[in-house]
Structure 1
């Protein structure tokens, strides 16, 4: 989730246990503590672009790191609240807020290494977009009201709102999953790998992607409650057999970087249709029906002993925005 929403969730959690005199102090602790895990975005080296991707949502979001992260948060916040809270109280509420960050990110699509260092598996429920304005705006209002009026009730309403909204996301996910398997069955396809997620900033338009044999298929579906789902059939392309294509470079820095990117992309790699020598992450695109990746790595076979470069392709052109709006509105 975006950093502001993380802070709002952390503040809601601490406000829920606050009395009137301490509510504002606990709001501050909750907001700051829940922001800290995402400072892992600062980890990286320009010479190795994939390092940042590997560390994002890794150790700082892991369950094992929560007590340490909470201690850091306590050190940063206690000096501002020590007139109302002792160090132990500050730590306990920092612990509560810090723990919400990793758990909140599991509801999005990128995944979190909750059980690091025991496993590198990323856990993700794909129930909500990394940025969902409706979800966040309601939390802004409720956290603000709780802070201004010093009333715990608004925090409880905030918790209820999160449960209701994520439950709706779960219901939408289940519908999308059923439709994806039905669509594959109509095509005579066997689903080897399925990726379902809401598109950016909403819960109505979903991206359906699945792997059949050695190909990736992308479709979209609009799921409006009490109406018939509208399916948008999209593109398909072959998965890139990078192990075979770059076999002669095995052992080189370039080959190892492709392997790292493949792991980060759940082995769903495709050739970018618009740019030469770009291996893209087939799970993400600007449109649910598109197989034009949002990001990828540039391969330079003339310099196999150098790290690859990481490229992003997130430009929302007028054409893309128009198509997205049409699908979202059911046109």
Structure 2
């Protein structure tokens, strides 16, 4: 979830348990506390690029770590707010803000390690993209009015907007799932896995991947509000059996990194069509109808003793933007 949305939800959670005297300071503490878990992006290592990917949304977002993370935020902020809040109040508002971070990331598509260290698995609802302007705008309006008027009724309104929008997102997701099963399942539907995620910034155009043992195929589904849903057929890519392909390098740093990246990508690796040496995460692309991965690792078999490089391959060219908008607005099929 984007930082602004994180902060607004964290601020509102603190507002609900504050009074008029502490309302604005509580909002500030909750806002900052909700951003704190994402400081994990600074925990990586330039010599070990995958470490940042592994640690992001990991222990700092787990339920177990919430009390400790809130305490760290409290110790940092209390120096600045002690004239307005007691240490106990500061911790309460930090705890409330911090606890929303993992839950907000849970509703997006990449997932969080909610039950670390007991389960080394990411959980996600795939309901909202990491940036959704309509979703964030509703939160911003409610939070701003609450902050200005110092009235928690508007904070409750923010919670209401959050609930309504997530219900709407759930309905859209169900519509896409039903259409995918009906039109993309085929005769051997039981052998196919569906990966369904909203595309960036909206609830209209969804990305759908069908997966079998050999390949992954990409589709876009436009789940319009008042129009018949449309299916945009994309391309297919062969899934890489990296364990067999690189078995002669087993035990090397390169092989271990491929294994790590495969785990982070739920085992769905493809070669980037423009960069044959790159193994990419097949779940994400700029367009829902392409298998060009958004990020991947560069495998160099001449440097097996080194960690692999990790890079992003985002293509926001005018051509890509036009294709996306055409699908989003239903101007082409």
Band of TM-score, shorter chain: over 0.9
The aligned counterpart of 2:206 is 206
Q: Is the 8 A contact 1:191 1:210 kept in 2?
A: no
The 8 Å contact of residues 107 and 125 in structure 2, kept in 1 or not, is answered as yes
Structure 1 spans left out of the alignment, 5+ residues: none
The Cα offsets for residues 222-269 of structure 1, whole Å up to 9 and x where unpaired, read as: 111232111111111110111111111111110000000000000000
CA distance in 2, matches of 1:315, 1:214: 26
SS at match of 1:196: strand
1:59 aligns with 2:37: no
Three-state SS of the structure 1 residue aligned to 2:83 is: coil
- Check whether the contact 1:111–1:124 (CA below 8 A) recurs between aligned residues: yes
What does 1:99-110 align with in structure 2 at a 5 Å threshold? Answer: 99-110=99-110
Contact 1:240 1:270 (C-alpha < 8 Å) held by counterparts: yes
Runs (4+) of structure 1 exceeding 3 A deviation are 186-192
CA distance in 1 between partners of 2:310 and 2:213 (Å): 28
Secondary structure in 2 aligned to 1:137?
helix
Secondary structure in 1 matching 2:206 = strand
What is the CA-CA distance between 1:276 and the residue it aligns to? 2.0
Q: How does 1:176-215 map to 2 (within 5 A)?
A: 176-186=176-186, 188-215=188-215
- Counterpart for residue 298 of structure 1: 298
Q: How many residues align?
A: 331
Contact 1:293 1:313 survives alignment (8 Å): yes
Which residue of the partner structure matches residue 236 of structure 2?
236
Deviates more, 1:288-297 or 1:76-85: 76-85
- The secondary structure found in structure 1 opposite 2:276 is coil
Report which stretch shifted further, 119-128 or 211-220.
211-220
Aligned match of 1:6: 6
Deviation digits for residues 164-220 of structure 1, max 9, x if unmatched? 111111111111111222223336454443211100011110000121231101101
Q: Indicate if the aligned counterparts of 1:181 and 1:191 stay in contact, CA closer than 8 A.
A: no
Give CA deviations for 1:29-73 in whole Å, capped at 9, x if unaligned. 110100000000001111111000000000000100000000011
In the alignment, structure 1 residue 249 sits paired with structure 2 residue 249: yes
Q: Which runs of 5+ in 2 are unaligned?
A: none
CA distance in 2, matches of 1:185, 1:106: 27
Aligned residue runs from structure 1 range 66-85, under 5 A: 66-85=66-85
Alignment of 1:215-226 (within 5 A): 215-226=215-226
Match of 1:318 in 2: 318
Q: For the Cα contact (< 8 Å) 2:185–2:192, is it kept in 1? A: no
| Matches of 1:301 and 1:27, distance apart in 2 | 52
Aligned twin of 1:138: 138
Q: Tell me if structure 2 keeps the 8 A contact 1:209–1:218.
A: yes
Q: Which residue of structure 2 lines up, in the alignment, with residue 42 of structure 1?
A: 42
Matched residue, 1:267: 267
Q: How does 1:148-159 map to 2 (within 5 A)?
A: 148-159=148-159
Q: Report the aligned-residue RMSD.
A: 1.2
Equivalent residues in 2 for 1:118-133 (5 A)? 118-133=118-133
Partner of 1:258: 258
Instruction: Name the SS of the counterpart of 1:236 in structure 2.
Output: strand
Task: Mark the CA change 1:134 to 1:5 in structure 2 (over 3 Å): closer, same or farther.
Answer: same
Q: TM-score under structure 2 normalisation?
A: 0.97
Which has the larger displacement, 262-271 or 181-190? 181-190
